[in-house]
Structure 1
Amino acid sequence: MSVLASIIHRMLDNTVLGTLKDGLDTVTCIKCLGGTLSQVQLYDLNPSFSSDRPVDALTEGITPDSLWRRYSEFELLRNYLLVTYPFVVVAPLPEKRAEIVWHKLSADNMDPDFVERRRVGLENFLHRVASHPVLCNDNIFNIFLTEDKDWKEMVYETGFQAKADSRLKAVNAAFRVKNPDGRFTELKHYSDELQTVLSQLLRVRARVADRLYGVYKVHGNYGRVFSEWSAIEKEMGDGLQSAGHHMDAYAASVDDILEEEEHYADQLKEYLFYTDALRAVCRKHELTQFELEMVALDLACKKQQKEELVTGTVRTFSLKGMTSKLFGQETAEQREAKLQVLEQQLKEGEEAVKEKNTESDEFVKTAWVDIERFKDQKDRDLKEALISYAVMQISMCKKGIQVWTNAKECFNKM
């Protein structure tokens, strides 16, 4: 049993994203059991990392313990997964630049706190893929974790870019499909509504964080005033100074509190970005359904042409009907030759319809299984995140009560 270690150190626009086995506090180890990526575990190792430390040369034929990956390489991996597994709700990547943040938080993509949160997000992306029942078996994902060199070339050799559907084609299918699956239509509307709700929730949270920051910092003014007051009092001085210290400590704690809040905000953002993955599955279904309808329509046209050719009557206005009236009917030999061509086209059309029907049914079946898996995951994760956020808020309020209780005791001792 071999262990594939993939550790995400930091990701900047023009810097390399490192994965060193003995470099960071948190290490993402993906155990390879029987050739199948099946389990993701976290281990704490000795944090003695230096960004200037060189990577040891890799021994040929041995799986490396450390890899370097850029953010763009994660994007390439995800794009490959989206195209190769269109029926899967592929986990999103963390945001490249901070969005929907409270104004005191740096939006700089090189800010150390933001880089660390993005590192956690990239690590979470690997967890999501490695724990997925289908994606974990993908060879390219395995190569992403194990091959230090030429893995990009291996991705491009799969030809996934040629399989990617154009955005215009998908939009065209969405407007022209005649018999959409109601479940996917409902899912598409749900993803739009979920995106709206989560966006509003994150914006409300950002506004609350701004006001909370102000309230905490005002307590710092309490601390300053009490300290200044204590300097002019003899009997009351010690009590006022102690109360001022409690207020200062309370005011200083807001930075850690709001940084912890960002962790929960990032969990909500993950599902905000998941809505795009849901819509991608819906677009693929619309495109599959549209292609099926086009093939079926073409087959119906061919059958009508055959009927008109056999009976010699044209039921609808067409160029063929006009030419027949102008230049006379076709000879029996010409009609027979056209019938043979139409027979062959009908056989091919029936095979195409059968193939597209099978493809559509298989897509719906596999996609819906993954959608149900995603729903269970979403309900579980969001429930846990919201409960943890509520617990954090309760703890924060208790600390505030404790600060004022301590201040009250200081005042009583004066």
Structure 2
Amino acid sequence: MQDPLNPFQPDGIGPGGLLSNGGGGAVGATRHASFTHPDPPGPPPPYDSVVMGDANAAAGGSGGADGGGGTRDFEIVVADPVKQGEGVSAFVSYKVRSRTNLAQYARPSNEVIRRFRDFAWLHDRLAEEKRGVIVPPLPEKNAVQKFTMGTDFIEERRRALQVFVNRVASHPELKATRALQRFLESNEDEFALEVALTTAAAGGAAKKRLDGAVGWFKGLGGAATSLVAGKSSSDAAEDPEYVKVRDYLTQLESHLGEAARQAGRLVAKETELTEALGEFGQSIEKLGRLEEGNVAEAFQQLASKAQGMSESRKGQVAQLAARFEAPIKEAVRFVRAATNVCNDRGVALAAMQAAKHDLDTKKVRYAKLRGTPGSASDKLLEAERDVTEAEGRVSKARASYEELVSTLTEELNRFQKERAADTNALLRDLALVQASLAADGAKGWSALLNELQAIQGNAPAAS
């Protein structure tokens, strides 16, 4: 997998290329597919087109290219945020406008009203239904900013939600899901009913799974506990190349988090400089009022130029935040989402190992009963039935694990390519915005210098 902070690194993840063409061994006969599958049909839209491409879609433009020569199946815009209520109960509603060419939709275009918890419902449903898929992340919650509901916070969240739903709609496994269709197509009453029904069903199923898992794992003792906790025995049974990828992702999340923090500092410094330049211009304007002649004119020119440059910089700094800071924050969330799916794989492996341990224990008990003269027939039948049931659990756990491995292998390859494309756009946009800031600054100060020299040339000679 390419390092998202090094898009020019060749295929392979981390130094030395931790992703290889070969698959390592695993539990039993389980083997792992290569981490170098063919490219999926058409890459997802780059971050800047998802976030900044509102105008064409909002104006009802035709389907945009996906950057890979194909036609995107969706155009989705999250727009018109409206604050509802006050205090802790306040929330923001959004209009979600979508156009699609998928035949499963009743209409080619839809407009619905959704709030943050509706986006969260979509995310959770996809994560529940599509195990092994790296579901695009939601923007993180911020209780303090949510309480104040400032304009900047609302706009930042709107953009992030737009990125989220476009990521989902461009994902080959997620774009045709029933959950996305209900989210984009159902009116508010229909959607509320859908949420209520699926939430109730998911809650009951989760409780049933939890109760069953608790009862089963309690009977396995310390051996199963160490397996589920992710001890070295699980890693020893995993594909060594995959373990490297997983550990790389863990480190990547940490380093990206630090990069995001520094990006925030950079934007804050540029914002501070922009505000200081405007305030400097205001103070110079007041100072010039105390002077006369060429001195007053020079002060006026400086004040005007400083205030004008400050206003010009505001939009550029906003672009820096939207096209550099926000994508890095999203990259951190995306890597965390990938890590969480890797954790699911670890749990699935531990469950399979625990099931095998349970089967071995039951086989030993059955063998002892058969080898003991005078064993009651009912106990033998019970022990044999326990072995059969344990074999069924092993088979089910192995199938679940192998399915998750296959899905996650494809996902990590897709994730690699998507991160590389996003990072190229990120670095390009950083360079463009910073170059624009520097060029406009140099142009503005050069113009001021010429004006001051002209004023000086027109000054009366000293007596």
- The TM-score range, normalised by the shorter chain, is 0.7 to 0.9
In 1, are the aligned partners of 2:81 and 2:94 still within 8 Å (CA)?
yes
Deviation track 1:83-119 (CA, whole Å, cap 9, x = no partner) reads 11121111111233389xxxxxx88652123212211
Q: SS of the counterpart of 1:175?
A: coil
* 1:413 is the counterpart of 2:454: yes
Distance of 1:111 and 1:338 partners within structure 2: 70
Q: SS of the counterpart of 1:135?
A: coil
* 1:71 is the counterpart of 2:116: yes
Q: SS of the counterpart of 2:80?
A: coil
Distance of 2:454 and 2:438 partners within structure 1: 25
Moved more, 170-179 or 117-126: 170-179
Who is 1:189 aligned against? 247
- Shift in Å, 1:384: 0.7
Distance of 1:174 and 1:68 partners within structure 2: 42
* 1:388 is the counterpart of 2:429: yes
Q: SS of the counterpart of 2:172?
A: coil
Match of 1:154 among 194, 197, 208: 194
Who is 2:140 aligned against? 95
Who is 2:125 aligned against? 80
- Shift in Å, 1:210: 3.6
Q: Which amino acid aligns with 2:98?
A: C
Match of 1:208 among 266, 272, 290: 266
- Shift in Å, 1:153: 3.4
Q: SS of the counterpart of 1:113?
A: helix
In 1, are the aligned partners of 2:99 and 2:110 still within 8 Å (CA)?
no
Moved more, 366-375 or 187-196: 187-196
Identify if the C-alpha distance between structure 1 residues 356 and 224 changes in structure 2 by more than 3 Å, giving closer, same or farther.
Answer: closer
Identify if the C-alpha distance between structure 1 residues 11 and 172 changes in structure 2 by more than 3 Å, giving closer, same or farther.
Answer: farther
In 1, are the aligned partners of 2:246 and 2:342 still within 8 Å (CA)?
yes
Identify if the C-alpha distance between structure 1 residues 381 and 5 changes in structure 2 by more than 3 Å, giving closer, same or farther.
Answer: closer
Match of 2:99 among 30, 49, 54: 30
Q: SS of the counterpart of 2:99?
A: strand
Who is 1:129 aligned against? 168
In 2, are the aligned partners of 1:98 and 1:107 still within 8 Å (CA)?
yes
- Shift in Å, 1:196: 1.9
Match of 1:278 among 327, 338, 352: 338
In 1, are the aligned partners of 2:98 and 2:109 still within 8 Å (CA)?
no
Identify if the C-alpha distance between structure 1 residues 217 and 135 changes in structure 2 by more than 3 Å, giving closer, same or farther.
Answer: closer
Match of 1:18 among 77, 87, 94: 94
Q: Which amino acid aligns with 1:178?
A: S
Distance of 1:6 and 1:214 partners within structure 2: 31
Q: SS of the counterpart of 2:230?
A: helix
Q: Which amino acid aligns with 2:99?
A: I
Who is 2:392 aligned against? 351
In 1, are the aligned partners of 2:288 and 2:297 still within 8 Å (CA)?
no
In 2, are the aligned partners of 1:63 and 1:147 still within 8 Å (CA)?
no
TM-score by length of 2: 0.68
* 1:266 is the counterpart of 2:326: yes
Match of 1:119 among 158, 163, 180: 158
Deviation track 1:297-341 (CA, whole Å, cap 9, x = no partner) reads 1111122123322333xxxxxxxxxxxxxxxxx625x1x443333
Who is 1:379 aligned against? 420
Deviation track 1:260-300 (CA, whole Å, cap 9, x = no partner) reads 22202111111111233112212211221111111101111
Match of 2:407 among 366, 373, 392: 366
Q: SS of the counterpart of 1:81?
A: helix
- Shift in Å, 1:150: 3.1
Identify if the C-alpha distance between structure 1 residues 204 and 98 changes in structure 2 by more than 3 Å, giving closer, same or farther.
Answer: farther
Who is 1:23 aligned against? none
Who is 2:45 aligned against? none
Identify if the C-alpha distance between structure 1 residues 408 and 84 changes in structure 2 by more than 3 Å, giving closer, same or farther.
Answer: same
Q: SS of the counterpart of 2:175?
A: helix
In our comparison, the structure showing a higher alpha carbon Rg is 1
Q: SS of the counterpart of 1:9?
A: strand
In 2, are the aligned partners of 1:98 and 1:114 still within 8 Å (CA)?
no
Deviation track 1:31-50 (CA, whole Å, cap 9, x = no partner) reads 142227xxxxxxxxxxxxxx
Identify if the C-alpha distance between structure 1 residues 160 and 172 changes in structure 2 by more than 3 Å, giving closer, same or farther.
Answer: farther
Identify if the C-alpha distance between structure 1 residues 355 and 11 changes in structure 2 by more than 3 Å, giving closer, same or farther.
Answer: farther
In 2, are the aligned partners of 1:295 and 1:353 still within 8 Å (CA)?
yes
Moved more, 276-285 or 338-347: 338-347
Q: SS of the counterpart of 1:355?
A: helix
Identify if the C-alpha distance between structure 1 residues 350 and 283 changes in structure 2 by more than 3 Å, giving closer, same or farther.
Answer: same
Distance of 2:176 and 2:308 partners within structure 1: 51
Moved more, 233-242 or 221-230: 221-230
Moved more, 132-141 or 189-198: 189-198
Who is 1:252 aligned against? 311
Q: SS of the counterpart of 1:33?
A: coil
Moved more, 272-281 or 342-351: 342-351
- Shift in Å, 1:249: 1.3
Q: SS of the counterpart of 2:233?
A: coil
Moved more, 243-252 or 401-410: 243-252
* Structure 2, unpaired ranges of 5+: 1-72, 84-88, 218-224, 456-463
- State percent identity of aligned pairs: 21
Deviation track 1:161-195 (CA, whole Å, cap 9, x = no partner) reads 345587x9999823357323245543443333222
Identify if the C-alpha distance between structure 1 residues 303 and 360 changes in structure 2 by more than 3 Å, giving closer, same or farther.
Answer: same
Who is 1:179 aligned against? 234
Q: Which amino acid aligns with 1:153?
A: L
Deviation track 1:381-401 (CA, whole Å, cap 9, x = no partner) reads 122112201211111011111
